[in-house]
Chain A
Amino acid sequence: MDLTFDATEAQFRDELRDWLSTNGPGPEPEGEDEQYAWRRDWQRKLHDGGWAGVHWPVEYGGRGATMVESAIFYEELARSGHPLPANVLGLLLGGPTLMVWGTPEQKDRYLNPILSAEEIWCQGFSEPEAGSDFAAVKTRAVEQADGSFLVTGQKVWTSGAQYSKWCMLVARTDFDAAKHKGLTYFLMDMDQPEVQVRPLKQITGEAEFNELFIEDARIPAENVIGGVGNGWKVALTTLMNERAGLAFGLQVRLRVMLDELTEIAASSGQIEDPRVADTLGELHLRCEILRLTAYRGLTATMKYGQPGPEGSLTKWMWSETNQMLTQFAADVVGPEALTMGTKWSYELLRARGNTIEGGTTEILKNIVAERVLGLPKAR
């Protein structure tokens, strides 16, 4: 057991810190489009510095970093206060999925533009009626005489859709096959009028996500990933990669916020109230347990190929702790935390989504009960 970074890891971290301290995206501009362009430029910078596909194999243009180094990357990025690269879904989900399921031609064609942020990717899994239930996917892809597919349907929670070239789309190709079986995984070109993007405004007032309205969009045969009818398995690969590294960044963001809150409580004297200190103590405890548990999961994954029981817990821990923290901030920070346009009020509202996005806490608990504890499937 060694809970420090070894020499290689420490060197990686130091090199990265150095780089991040002298390289950055510059000041954040006003306006959503401008901010996206700024994050795209930032990814180009990262790419030029060799920091874009940290965990990608060298053969695909990545840095070939270990999982720990990848975790360090997202931790340090969060600590630096710099934003995530624009094409985060391509880097974390699309690329790794292609590496498993793509043909040599597909890898050649798609991987490099992901790294360079030349082509942005988005994810088209969720549907309004389907929620967490993949079997209920209704978007239809009908094969044409020329082997291409015509797709019609609606997708939701598609972040970055308005900037994306490619959408990882799961659609139904076999309408008779039961549940998961008739699904196929496509790469859909977003540059066609048959795909309409409508921003989906959230509780925060921002439109971080979009709805996609697809009507007879065309996808050529060569854009099927992993074979027709195999969409469920391919999608699972994507889902397994979801947040794998990102979790470390989220955890550090939480820690940074908590430290800031602690600072406010200390400088305002509120920390002298044992009730305030008690809640801060609980938050620090949860935050630290989250970090440790994430690393335990990482070690298990590296050693045994999959995380141990603790691996299923980190997203649940993070989301609950973040909600607890942002709610508590409303008490400690005071009126500012309930005033529009402040960081604290944004975080308070945004945190509500944490226990929903990327699998609701209820679904995560089902998964823990069934897959980790081996209980019979919930009824």
Chain B
Amino acid sequence: MPMDSNAVISEIRKNFMLESIKNGKRLDGRPLDEYREIKITENFIPKSAGSAMVELGNTKVVAGLKIEQGEPFADTPDKGVILLNIELLPMAFPTFESGPPSEQAIEYSRVVDRGIRESKMIDTSKLVIESGKNVWMIFVDIDVLNYDGNIIDACTLAAVTALKNAVIPGSKLGEKDFKLPVNATPVAVTMWKLGDELICDASLEEEQVSTGRITVTMSEDNNIHAMQKGEIGEFSLEEIQKAIKTSSNIGNKLREKYFR
């Protein structure tokens, strides 16, 4: 969660926010588990192998794929490689800096990556050109252009959309181009604790007031594939169980709406 001393929320507004949430309603009028307007622009970058721009309210991210040939990892000679990287661009927020990825960017990348990897969305064994020597490498680069909260969910939506559209350039090998083989549709749902409540799709100012973040990524098999408690703060086991149920419900809704 980015810190910006100029943008710190006043105590009055913070209390007002918590009071409102206690009564089941957020400052922008949303119920606790409702997402902001979601806008997905598929194939936003025509030259990439697959891409999407995702807007969650003012949060704006772009995912783009490049697919190249390369050597597999030594311990998985019969699997293609997926490399996912989130850049929190310095344009996205006043305190984000240029340079190598921050701990925050790395954590976000790894959580998004785990959801996609562990749900077995992509069958990487179908990305082998020559065992142990040459495989398709999928670079999933995700840029955060404007930061207004809930980056993990936005980036997962963008990456999953881009992967679903992706085309492997088989023609470079004298074969046919083919669609990336997709087996599952993971959806990450992140919740924040504000007072005693859990809310979904926090805006930046809600993130700044929250005391704990929990992400649960599930796929249509209704299994949990990734979880991550983030930020300072603590959860009871009951809260975690509630978060899992919420993730299951919302994941089903989003999958229905955006990935049919």
Partners in one complex: no
Name A's B-contacting residues (CB within 8 A): none
